[in-house]
Amino acid sequence: MTEDIQPLASLEYIPYIDSEGKLPEFVQGRIGVYAIFDSEKVLQFVGYSRDTYLSLKQHLVRQPEHCYWLKVQTIEKPSRTILESIRASWIAENGSQPQGNGDDAAAKWNDPIDTKTVMTAQEIANYEGIVADELAKDKLLKNVARRVENEILSLLKLRGVTEEIRFNPKLKTSGLLDLK
82 and 137 in one domain? no
136 and 89 in one domain? no
From first to last of the 180 residues of the chain, give the pLDDT tens digit: 446 899 999 999 999 999 999 999 999 999 999 999 999 999 999 999 999 999 999 999 999 999 999 999 999 988 999 999 999 999 999 999 999 999 889 999 999 999 999 999 999 999 999 988 999 999 999 999 999 999 999 999 999 999 999 999 999 999 999 998
- Rounded to whole angstroms, how far apart are CA atoms 114 and 15? 28
Q: What's the structural domain count of the chain?
A: 2
Domain that holds residue 167: 113-177
Beta carbons within 8 Å of 54's beta carbon, 6+ residues apart: 179
In a domain, 2, yes or no: no
In a domain, 119, yes or no: yes
- Rounded to whole angstroms, how far apart are CA atoms 52 and 25? 10
129 and 100 in one domain? no
- Rounded to whole angstroms, how far apart are CA atoms 80 and 36? 19
Answer for the pair 77, 62: CB distance below 8 angstroms, yes or no: no
123 and 86 in one domain? no
In a domain, 162, yes or no: yes
Which residues share a beta bridge with 43?
Answer: 37
